[in-house]
Amino acid sequence: MTQLTDTHNNTNDGLQTLFKNLPGMAYRCINLPHWPMSFVSEGCEALCGYKSQELESQSILWGEFTHRHDVAEVDRQVRAAAYLGQPFEVEYRIVPRTGPHKWVWERGRVVDKLDDGTAIIEGFITDITSLRHAERMVNEQREQLAHVERLNTLGEMTAAIAHELNQPLTAIAMYSQSAKLLAQQGQHEELLQVLDKVAQQSHRAGAVIERMQAMSYQSSHQQDEINPTVLLREIKDLAEIEAQVRHFTIDLKIPQYLPLICCDPIQIQQVILNLLRNGMQAMQTNQCAPGSAIQLSALVDQQQLWINVIDEGTGIEECMADKLFLAFASNKNTGKTAGMGLGLTIGKAIIEAHGGRLNYRNLSSTGAHFYFNLAVAKPLSK
């Protein structure tokens, strides 16, 4: 602080005005535990409830405000950046003098070193609590919307199927009861006709079910030769959005060349996206540290392309193992994220419609490994 006022006397007033108008707090501190401040701008009071003089006198230390859950992470990032001499950006919670905790965003870098080699850091801290709230609301709404959408589709499908099936069932009930009467009355010719009609109606009911299945996998007839590298990169980009929200990363591991596969790319991407989502949800349940990675990889073995999704989540419980692929069995039965449990069932059906198998195993450490195979369209020509 002394340095600042001494050397920049002329511009001091201008700087003060500038600092006053900042939406946050500019600081200079020594990279020691709890970061003793040698200078903080006026914004400090709005941020933590203490005057700049109180921090500058070092009777209060900035590090004491940091939320205890975030202390380790902030410390790690700042230390690493200081060691490498790189700028750092961290988001963490602080507990101000009064009121609930706040989310802050901090950016800083080493500007100088003391004689003993301790780094001097300058940076800026600003309140992002409202931004965080908005983000959380958007996420919650997005999740609710996805849930409602799934429910709607399911509800509509059920109603349509019920109607289609109830017609032949009504006819069958009437025909068969009539047949009974005709048999008792010995009207054999009419009886035979009615029995034929019963058979026709049961075929009709069967056709409804077949059509329903065909509808679900309609596009799998329109299979194209697809480059799995492109497919996997696309899906990684798509899932990245969700990963960022959850503070995880997606680790895509694929060999340089992958052979073409014959598939419906949208459906296969749906399956992979679903696996990645499930994995990330499990990782969140398992309270994986921010920055943890979910792995998406591919390899070719005996004319089969194997796609793997490996998470560091809670793994699959014994009791769920048997019914994991049944509709409505869900591992995510807590609160708002309770799933409908259709994802894996549909995924399995899609992969099997492509002639592959979707399976999983629990990892010995932690997490689950889901994998499936698809036939290679053309062998790689070297």
Partner 1 sequence: MSQYVFIVDDDPAVRDAISLWLGCHHYQTLCFENAIQFTQQFTTNLNGCIIADIRMPGMDGLELQAHLNNIGCRLPLIFITGHGTVPMAVEAMRSGALDYLRKPVNEQQLLHQVAEAFATDQAHSQQQQLALARHTQFNSLTKREQQVAALVVDGCANKMVAAELGISDRTVEVHRASVMTKLKVKTVPELVKTYLTITT
Size of the site for partner 1 (CB under 8 A): 22
User: Quick check: 171 binds partner 1 (CB under 8 A)?
Assistant: yes
Task: Report helix angle 129-184 to 188-216, nearest 10.
Answer: 160
Smallest distance, partner 1 to C-beta of residue 190, A: 9
Residue 234 is encoded by which pair of tokens? 């696309």
CB closer to partner 1 out of 174 and 245: 174
Residue 373 is encoded by which pair of tokens? 């195979």
Smallest distance, partner 1 to C-beta of residue 178, A: 5
> Which of 55-63, 163-171, 217-225, 361-369 is the region at the interface with partner 1 (rule: CB under 8 A)?
163-171
CB closer to partner 1 out of 178 and 216: 178
User: Quick check: 169 binds partner 1 (CB under 8 A)?
Assistant: yes
CB closer to partner 1 out of 135 and 196: 196
Return the number of other C-beta atoms located less than 10 Å from residue 224's C-beta.
Answer: 11
Strand duo 249-253 + 293-301: pairing: parallel
Write the DSSP string, 46-86: HHHSS-HHHHHTTSS-GGGGB-TTTHHHHHHHHHHHHHHT-
Residues whose CB is less than 8 angstroms from the CB of residue 40 and which lie 6 or more positions away in sequence, other chains included: 25, 26, 27, 28, 52, 55, 56, 62
Burial of 109 (0-12, 13-18, 19+ CB in 10 A): middle
Binding-site member from 3, 12, 86, 166 for partner 1 (CB under 8 A):
166
> Which of 137-145, 157-165, 247-255, 303-311 is the region at the interface with partner 1 (rule: CB under 8 A)?
157-165
Residues whose CB is less than 8 angstroms from the CB of residue 132 and which lie 6 or more positions away in sequence, other chains included: 103
| Rounded Cα gap, residues 220 and 378, in angstroms | 19
Smallest distance, partner 1 to C-beta of residue 192, A: 13
In degrees, rounded to 5, the angle at the alpha carbon of residue 126 between the alpha carbons of residues 124 and 128 is 145
What does each C-alpha distance from 262 to 58, 257, 272, 276, 376 come to in angstroms?
Answer: 67, 16, 16, 22, 7
User: Quick check: 172 binds partner 1 (CB under 8 A)?
Assistant: yes
Convert residues 175-214 into a mask of x (bound to partner 1 by CB under 8 A) and - (unbound).
x-xx--xx-----------x--x--xx--x----------
Smallest distance, partner 1 to C-beta of residue 165, A: 9
Give residues 97-136 in contact with partner 1 (rule: CB under 8 A): none
User: Quick check: 153 binds partner 1 (CB under 8 A)?
Assistant: no
Smallest distance, partner 1 to C-beta of residue 193, A: 9
Binding-site member from 167, 219, 244, 359 for partner 1 (CB under 8 A):
167
Binding-site member from 46, 114, 134, 173 for partner 1 (CB under 8 A):
173
Q: Are 227 and 260 in contact (CB under 8 A)?
A: yes
- DSSP H helices in 247-306: 265-285
CB closer to partner 1 out of 148 and 181: 181
User: Quick check: 278 binds partner 1 (CB under 8 A)?
Assistant: no
Contact residues toward partner 1 (CB under 8 A) are 159, 162-163, 166-175, 177-178, 181-182, 194, 197, 200-201, 204
